[in-house]
Structure 1
Amino acid sequence: MDQRVYDHAETLVDWSARIEAGDDVVLRVSEGAHDLAVAVAEKLGERGANLLTVYSSDEISRAYLRGHDGEFDADPEYELAMYERADSVLSLGGGRNTTALADVPGDRRQAAARAREGIREARLDTDWVSTVHPTRSLAQQAGMAYEEYREFVYDAVLRDWETLAEEMAQLKDLLDDGSEVRIVGEGTDLTMSVENRIAVNSAASVAYDSHNLPSGEVFTAPVVDSVEGKVVFDVPMTISDRRVRDVELTFEGGEVVEYAAAQGEEAIAETLETDAGAKRLGELGIGMNRGIHRPTDRILFDEKMGGTVHMALGRAYASNFPEDRAEERNESAVHVDLIRRMDEGSRLEVDGEVVQEDGVFRWE
C-alpha cells in the first residue's frame, strides 16, 4: 500500500483526532475508503484505542430513502447511544458514485435530516474528524486523472500543520478583535457583524477546535440579523447531488430575500425552504490552504482553498460562541457552504481595514 495512506492515517489519528489509549472510537467507512480504514485501524490499535467500525454507503442510503414512506422516527435510540458513548468519531469519505442520491426526492431527504438532528448533535459533541480517501469517483468529479487527484489530496492533507496554524492565528486575532467584516468583489458587496464571536483557527486538529482533514481555514459566525447586501458565489459545486453554479444571494436584516443561480437554482430553493434558519448565515470562512489550488467539487477541499471565502446557509457551530451567547447561535437542519474566489478586484475588510486584497493577505 502507498506509504502516503499510512501517513494520512497517522496524521488523522495523532495530529487531528489526538487519540489516546482507552478512547472509544467510531470509525465510519465509506465504500471506497477501505485502504485508509485499514491503515487507521492499525494506528488505533497501536494507540490502544477501542474500535467500532460502521460501514457507510450512499447507494444503501438511496435504497432506504426511496423505499421509505417519509415518516421517520426521530433519533433511533440504538444509533444515538453509539455516538453519545463515543469519545471520537472518524469519518472516511470516498464513495463509488458521487451522485448516488440524485433521484431521492428532496422533501424526503429533508425529513430524514430533521429526524436525525439529535444524532448529528451527539456526533458533533465528540472529538469528530472527517477526511477523504482519494477514489476514482472523486477524481472524476474533480475532472482530474486518478493519479493527479491522489497527488492533489496528499498535497492538501500532508502539510506542516503547525506552521500553517501560526499563520492562520493572525487572521483569527483580527476577527476576534473586530466588529464588522466587509467582502467586496465583482457583483458582491456584503457586510456582517462578527462582534462577540470566537473565530476558529481550523488547523485540522481537535486541539484547535478543528474537525476536517484537510483543513486550512479560519471561520466565524455572523450575528444573524446583521448580514446586509449581495454576494455572488462563483465556485461551482454540487448540492444535494445537483450541480450548482453562480449563485447570487441578497440579504436584508440577515435573511435571504432574493436568490438566483445560473444552474441548480432548485437545489438552492430546497435548501432555503428546509426551515427558518436555512435562510440565514451560520458561518463565514476564509480559505488559507495554499496546497488546495483549484476546485474539486468537494466541499471538504474547496472551502479551504487559498484565496477564497465561503459562507454557510443554516446551522452555526457552537465553537464560535462564548457560553453566555450560546442562545444567539443560528439553528437549522442544514449547513450548506457556498464559495467565492477573492481574485483580482476583491478585498476583505475588518473594521474598514483591508486584510486581504486580490486574494493575498497583507502579511503574505
Structure 2
Amino acid sequence: MSHFEQKLDKYAALTVHMGVNIQEGQTLVVNAPLDAAILVRKIAKQAYEAGAKHVYVEWNDEVLTYIKYKHAPDEAFSEYPMWRAQGMEQLTQEGAAFLSIYSPNPDLLKDIDPKRIATFSKTSSQALKNYRSALMADQNCWSIISVPTPAWAKKIFPHLSEQEAIDKLWDVIFAVTRVHEDDPIGAWEVHNKRLAKMVKYLNNKQYRQLVYKAPGTNLTIELVDNHVWHGGAAVSQSGIRFNPNIPTEEVFTMPHKDGVNGTVRNTKPLNYGGNLIDGFTLTFQDGKVVDFTAETGYETLKHLLETDEGARRLGEVALVPHRSPISESNLIFYNTLFDENAACHLALGKAYPTNIRDGASMSKEELATYGVNDSLIHADFMIGSNELNIDGITKDGTREPIFRNGNWAFELD
C-alpha cells in the first residue's frame, strides 16, 4: 500500500469514527462530488466495518451543475424535487448520520446571473428546511470534510500543474486535519479537549457583549441571555459524540438578533453559491444590515441579503486565533470549511438552537422571544486577522480583553 493510500485510509477512519461516529445498525448518507469516489469507497468500507446497515451516496457533478444553470429555463430554479427533500426528512427521523464532502469550484458560476443562483438557493433551502433544522439542532450526527478537486486545487495553487496542485492540496488537508499524525483519532481527542477548556471558560464568563476593533471594523455584538459556547466535538440528541467539522479550530455562540451595531469588513473572500464576494462591508443597526458595499460580487451579496428578513441579521459569532494550523498555512482556500477555521467569523442567517440553553427543545416562536435569529440561510464570512482586537463586556459592565492582535489575550492551563 502506498503512503498516500495509508493517509487516505486514516482520513476515512477519522471521518467515520470521529466525524459522524457511525453506530451499529445505523444508516450513513454521503453527499459527495465525483472526484471523491476513491475516498467515499473507503469511507463506506469503514462504515460497514463499524456496523453501518446502509451507506447511501448522493453524487454531484459540477459540470452538470453548470450546464443546468447555463441552459435550463428560469422556472427550473423555482422547483425542487420534493421526493428528495421528503427522503432526507425520513432519514433524519430514522436516525441516519450525514456526511457532506464539500469541495466547490470557487469560479464555477462566475458567468451565471446571480438572480438564478439566489432563486435556487432559496428554493432548495425552503424544501430542505426541516432536514437542515434537524442537523442544526444536533438531532443527528453530521460532519463536513473536503477533498481536492482539479478546479479548487488550481484556484489555490495556480502556478502548479493540475496534478501537482491536487497533490499539494492533499498534503495540506492531511496536515490541518491531523491525518499526518501517527494516531489521528488520538490527536483529535487532545484537540477536542483543548477546545472544550476554552468553551468552559467562555460559558462561565457569560459576556453580555463583544466589541470588535480592526481596520474597517468597529462592531458591538450583544449575546443572548443564557448563551452557550460550543467548539470541537458535539453531542447528538441521542447522546452520541461527533465532530461536525473536520478541520475545526473555532469556538462559537449566538448573538442577539437585534443587538448588533456598527460596521464590519471581511478579511477573506466568501465563496457563496459558486460566486466570490470580496472586499465587502456590512453596517448594522439594531441587529439589521442597513447598508453594504462590495468590491467583488455586489449583486451576489445583495441577493443573499434579500433571501428573507433573517438574512440581514447574524446567527453566529465564532472565535478563531490567527495562530492556528489553517491560518499558518498562509493560504486562502476559497472554501468556507477551511477559511472559517483560519479566522474569526460571523454568520448571516439562521442561528444554531444549541447555542442557547435548552434551545434544541424550544419552538420557533419560543426561540424568537429570546432573540434567536431564523432564516433560510446560514452564511459564514471571515473577519479575523492579526489586527483584530476583541473585548468582552461582563454583565456588571467590566471590559476584559479576549483577543489581541488576532490571538487569545490569555492562556488556559
TM over 0.5: yes
User: Unaligned regions of 5+ residues in structure 1, if any?
Assistant: none
In structure 2, do the counterparts of structure 1 residues 73 and 358 end up closer, same or farther at CA, with 3 Å as the change threshold? closer
Deviation of the 1:205 alpha carbon: 7.9
**In the alignment, which residue of structure 2 is the partner of 1:93?**
102
Moved more, 154-163 or 247-256: 154-163
User: Residues 73-122 of structure 1: CA distance to partner in whole angstroms, max 9, x if unpaired?
Assistant: 58433443234324201122336x44444426134222333233223334
Q: What residue number does 2:19 align with?
A: 16
The TM-score with structure 2 as length reference comes to: 0.80
TM-score between both structures, scaled by the size of structure 1: 0.90
Q: 1:355 to 1:208 in 2, by over 3 A?
A: farther
Partner of 1:214, secondary structure, is: coil
Amino acid at match of 2:346: M
SS in 1 for 2:367: helix
* Match in the other structure for 2:306: 273
Instruction: Give the corresponding residue for 1:190.
Output: 219
Q: Given the alignment, which residue of 29, 40, 46 partners 2:43?
A: 40
Does residue 52 of the first structure (1) align with residue 56 of the second (2)? Answer: yes
Question: In the TM superposition, what are the counterparts of 1:291-306 in structure 2 within 5 Å?
Answer: 291-293=325-327, 294-305=331-342
Residue type at the aligned position of 1:53: V
What is the letter of the counterpart of residue 37 of structure 1?
Answer: V
Of 138-147 and 45-54, deviating more is 138-147
- Tell me the distance in 1 between the aligned counterparts of 2:152 and 2:250: 22
Q: Residue 26 of structure 1 aligns to which amino acid in structure 2?
A: V
Please give the residue correspondences for 1:86-125 in structure 2 after superposition, counting only pairs within 5 Å.
Answer: 86-94=95-103, 97-102=105-110, 103=112, 105-109=116-120, 110-124=122-136, 125=139
Q: Distance in 1 between matches of 2:173 and 2:96?
A: 27
* Aligned: 1:3 with 2:3: no
**Contact 1:31–1:94, Cα closer than 8 Å, also in 2:** no
Unaligned runs of 5+ in 2: 159-164, 179-183, 394-398
User: Cα deviation per residue 1:206-258 (whole Å; 9 max; x = unaligned)?
Assistant: 66664111112101110111111111112123222222212111111000011
Deviates more, 1:83-92 or 1:20-29: 83-92
Q: For the Cα contact (< 8 Å) 2:349–2:375, is it kept in 1?
A: yes
Residues 102 and 147 of structure 2 are in contact (CA less than 8 Å); yes or no, is this contact kept in structure 1?
yes
Question: After alignment, is 105-114 or 191-200 more displaced?
Answer: 105-114
Determine the C-alpha separation between the residues in 2 that align with 1:238 and 1:107: 13
- What SS class does the counterpart of residue 200 from structure 1 fall into? coil
Counterpart Cα distance in 2 of 1:322 and 1:209: 20
Output the amino acid matched with 1:115: A
Distance in 2, matches of 1:56 and 1:310, equals: 28
Mapped to 2, the partners of 1:200 and 1:256 lie a distance apart of: 26
Classify the secondary structure of the residue corresponding to 2:119: helix
1:172 equivalent in alignment to 2:203: no
Q: Structure 1 residues 358 and 223 mapped into 2: Cα distance closer, same or farther (>3 Å)?
A: same
Deviation per residue, 1:116-160 (Å, 9 max, x gap)? 322333455321111111222221222363322111111111262
Change (3 A) 1:123 1:341: closer
- Aligned residue in 2 for 1:337: 380
Amino acid at match of 2:279: D
The one-letter code matched in structure 1 to 2:332 is: P
Q: 2:21·2:241 contact (CA, 8 Å) conserved in 1?
A: no
Instruction: Report the CA distance shift for 1:94/1:252 in structure 2 as closer, same or farther (over 3 A).
Output: closer
Aligned alpha-carbon RMSD (Å): 2.4
User: 1:165 deviation in Å?
Assistant: 2.3
Closer/same/farther in 2, CA of residues 61 and 79 from structure 1, 3 Å limit: farther
CA deviation after TM superposition for structure 1 residue 62, in Å:
4.5
Task: Report if the CA contact (8 A) 2:106-2:271 is conserved.
Answer: no
- Residues 88 and 79 of structure 1: is their aligned pair in 2 closer, same or farther, counting only changes over 3 Å? closer
